[in-house]
Structure 1
Amino acid sequence: MKHSKIAILRWFLIGLLIALVIWLLNKVDIEQVRERVDQFGIWAPVIVFGLRFTSVIVPVLPGTAYAVLAGGLFGFVQGFLVIALADLASCTFNFYIARRYGRGLVERFVGQQFMEKVDRLGKRHLERNFFLMAAFLMTGLFDFVTYAVGLTQTSWQSYLLALMASILIAKPLWVAAGAGIFEGSQLLLGFALLAAFGIGAVTAVVQRQPDQ
């Protein structure tokens, strides 16, 4: 019951942050915002990259809103590139920290109250099932999963392959949602909604897998 409440709270925060981003950007002319963003040059995507990177390393608040923001500000292609690179860098960093320094340093990043979640994910023995590991990396728990997998004996090659597969499959949906909302693209919105249902189904299935 406790874990269910935490999961519900997490998804509530994700929804709230996305709604806040959408509300804020709908209050202004998106084209004007993009023009001002363009004035920052390379620093605009660097800032969003940094925010997303930090939210994955210190997973206190969900970073999904930054993916929506990236799609809204930069469009689908550039927005996805920013988020994909941020996730690749941060998740690789998480894995390295866990593998190199162990559980003690991981707890400093995630906090004692969330370390139980990392331990619980570790009990899934994801290193024994590549597809289950990739599926977990597609869920909203992916930041915790990266730490958990790093504490196992999973090889770098296997982890990076699963990580890249999860980024290519799961990350475009939130960027597409942002781009679709602010560009008025029904195709992108439709893709995002269908993908959201798919990721939701994956999340439901993998979280029902019993600890081994």
Structure 2
Amino acid sequence: MKIKRLLPYVFILTFVGLTVYLLSESISSDKVADIVKSTGPLAPLVFISLFASTHVLAPLSASPLLFPAFLLFGAKPTVFYMYLATVISSFTNFWISKQWGRSLVIKLVGNKNMQKIDEFTEYYGVGALIFLRLFSGYMTDFVSYAYGLTKIKFSVYFLISILVPIPWLLFWQLYVGNRVDGIKDFAVWVYIPIIPFVFITSLFIYKFKKKRSK
């Protein structure tokens, strides 16, 4: 892939990184933490529900929730709750897309283009899902909706979505969590999965376009 093709993704990556950093500096985390904390023993459930909803309603951002959760629960519990929320939202999005999405997409893009979408998924299919689940961290909303429009079996999607992110979760629990010192460290480590996600996604798009042009 030429360097020029990578430049837009580098700019996006830099922008996202700066946004995360600025949020960690400016967000009023104490206020959000107080709201979640006021729910008492249900605080983890409230956080999981709110975090999952930001993936179901894709325009919403989860960033304002992460830093208060870190202050309230600590690094390790927060990441574990994020994992649970991501699993819940990935199943929810897949189900929504499976139930109502395909008919709507066909009306929007037509049957011919829908066949191209299916061909793309069959070409990258399970392998692509494994890579995306492994490297995309908690950015799962569009992946879940997209795969809900494909022919992939729910059992396969279910197992991959639950099992593949576990290495990253264990890495957090056994290594990173013990070394996070403050909210800035937490923000950086949450941001790290975006790096391979951007490059791998761009590679998929590039290879697919190249295949179609043949």
Match of 1:85 in 2: 84
Matches within 5 A, 1:161-172: 161-169=159-167
Partner SS for 1:42: helix
- C-alpha distance in 1 between matches for 2:25 and 2:128: 36
Structure 1: runs of 5+ lacking an equivalent? 113-117
Distance 2:26 2:97 in 1: 37
Structure 1's 191 and 183: CA in aligned 2 closer, same or farther, altered over 3 A? closer
Task: Determine whether 1:156 maps to 2:159.
Answer: no
Equivalent residue pairs, number:
194
CA shift digits 1:122-164 (9 cap, x unpaired): 6631575322112223437531111111111101111112212
Tell me the amino acid that sits aligned with residue 136 of structure 1.
L
Matches within 5 A, 1:1-212: 12-13=15-16, 15-16=18-19, 18-24=20-26, 40-64=39-63, 66-67=65-66, 69-103=68-102, 124-125=120-121, 129-137=125-133, 138-139=135-136, 142-169=140-167, 180-182=180-182, 197-211=195-209
- AA matched with 1:131: G
SS of aligned partner of 1:102:
helix
Could you tell me whether the CA contact under 8 Å between 2:94 and 2:144 is conserved in 1?
A: yes
Contact preservation (8 Å) 1:56, 1:90: yes
- Could you tell me whether the CA contact under 8 Å between 2:67 and 2:183 is conserved in 1? no
> Once the two structures are superposed, what CA deviation does each residue of 1:12-69 show, in whole Å capped at 9, x if it has no partner?
35641x22442147x88x8xx9799656423332332232111111111443554455
CA distance in 2, matches of 1:14, 1:57: 23
TM-align CA RMSD: 4.6
Task: Give the percent of matched residue pairs that are identical in Structure 1 and Structure 2.
Answer: 18
Deviates more, 1:165-174 or 1:146-155: 165-174
